[in-house]
Amino acid sequence: MLRASAACEKVGIPAVTLVCEGFVNQSKATARGLGFPGLPLGVLPGHTGTQTPETVRENVRAKTLQQVIDGLVIATAQDANEVEANPRDVVFSGTFEEVNDYFYDKQWSDGLPIVPPTKEKVEAFLQYTDRGPFDVLGVMLPDNRRATPWNVAVNGVMAGCRPEYMPILMTLVEALLDPAYGLEHSGNTPGSETVILLNGPLIKQLGFNYEQGVMRDGIRPNTSIGRFLRLYLRNVAGFLPGGTDKGTYGNTWRVVVPENEDEVKRLGWQPLSEQLGFAPGDNVLTIGRYTGGNVVASVAGSTPGEMMPYLADRMLKEHGFNVCFTVGQGLGALRPILLLTPVLAETLAKAGWSKREVQQYLFDHARMSARQFELYANTWTDQAHAPLAVRVAKGDAPQVFAQSDDPERLVPIVFKPEDFLVVVTGDPLRTNAYVFTHNGLRGFTVAKKVTLPREWDRLRATS
């Protein structure tokens, strides 16, 4: 709504944005990023989702209505935006501790010590891209700040990355800028966090962990690149706690999860990147925003028939409100992830199953009743979405969602089998899996090929 108000103000039409009380700070921060600090707000006390219609009317009459009138008829003083330093300026000099205290006070760090981004360190990163340091990669919402190789490198240094990680950092930013990803939703209230999946030769070339403890911090490329993403969202996009980052509980940043391509090849399966349409041998980064996940421990059985019911059950039970991104707020936008350890994948492959069969099984068996689905997507989450049958009749959803009018009929949680992402990774000999629940169009899954600099081989040889 703020963006609509800003568009109106831009052409001279007065506008007021209605917001619940808990979103006032976010609204003010977003308005500054849109270039309209002081954009009028009509504040609804409390949260309308927990109030009766009578209470909402009383609050609007007592407080909100006058704010709307004032916002439309009284010119609002516009606070000046803070002038930012030139990218090459030295903003502070001091000891390691003093630099970290300064960055923390400025909200430029995540609370952990950062590596001071000196010019020399930043320029070392820039050797690993063929782009000019101030080429504009795109504009980052909500602060409308330009993404450039220079500020990519600055945040890469701060996160503890090595210079040779720069091609991956650049690709991450390009993925964030893809409109399908929905960068502007990075601070929405479910507090979802980005999962970064990696395929290609860079996994081994840069020393990523893709086996035991793959999601644990401690391995430099996995860990520092994950941290970079959160720092970049903070420092360039502008997502700050108490402002545009409104995660109710929030998640911390996640380390990069590479696929075990040796095992995938041995089993005759396709890596995720090829399933998404990329060529064999491409370095591919896949990101999506996920509300959380859970381990599927001790998957027993020596056949798919023994193993897959458990995996489908856990896939289903990890999903609740998320199905609104299937036929509610999004249409076919849900992309759940299943991580399989190599020993589980091998058991399935020995029975002649590919990833495609795994996806099909999940589509056929990770199902809930239509009644339960509509409770999650409509009633319990206070969403005014059309019933499943209406969606199907309008052509917005596949026929599988309305094969009868029985409220207990079972429906899938995604549009098609390929919407489940299956990745082989983790401890090679443990019988565990992992399920991630997706945040749909508010962080839609995007995959990008990593572009290496022309001098990549020479640079690697001298690093």
Domain ranges of the chain: 2-73
CA distances from 124 to 161, 382, 443, 459 (A): 11, 51, 32, 11
pLDDT number for residue 62: 73
**pLDDT at 358 exceeding the cut of 60:** yes
pLDDT number for residue 9: 67
The CA distance from 447 to 8, in Å, is 35
The CA distance from 362 to 217, in Å, is 30
Mean pLDDT of 112-117: 98
Cβ neighbours, 10 Å, residue 335: 24
**pLDDT at 24 exceeding the cut of 80:** no
pLDDT number for residue 307: 98
pLDDT number for residue 71: 62
* SS3 of residue 131 by DSSP: coil
pLDDT number for residue 432: 97
0.85 cut: is pTM over it?
A: yes
pLDDT digits (tens, 9 = 90+) for 115-146: 999 999 999 999 999 999 999 999 999 999 99
pLDDT number for residue 322: 94
pLDDT number for residue 18: 80
pLDDT number for residue 305: 97
Rg for the chain (alpha carbons), in Å?
Answer: 24
pLDDT digits (tens, 9 = 90+) for 177-193: 999 999 999 999 899 99
**pLDDT at 33 exceeding the cut of 60:** no
pLDDT number for residue 57: 75
Residue 20's pLDDT band (cuts 50, 70, 90):
low
* SS3 of residue 230 by DSSP: helix
Mean pLDDT of 317-328: 93
**pLDDT at 310 exceeding the cut of 70:** yes
Nearest 5°: CA angle at 17, between 16 and 23? 145
Question: Could you identify the residue written with the tokens 């395929």?
Answer: 199
pLDDT digits (tens, 9 = 90+) for 237-250: 999 998 899 899 99
**Beta strand 193-199 with 257-258: parallel, antiparallel or unpaired?**
parallel
**pLDDT at 77 exceeding the cut of 60:** no
Report the mean per-residue pLDDT for the chain: 91
pLDDT exceeding 70 applies to what percent of the chain?
A: 89
- Answer for the pair 214, 258: CB distance below 8 angstroms, yes or no: yes
- Answer for the pair 171, 450: CB distance below 8 angstroms, yes or no: yes
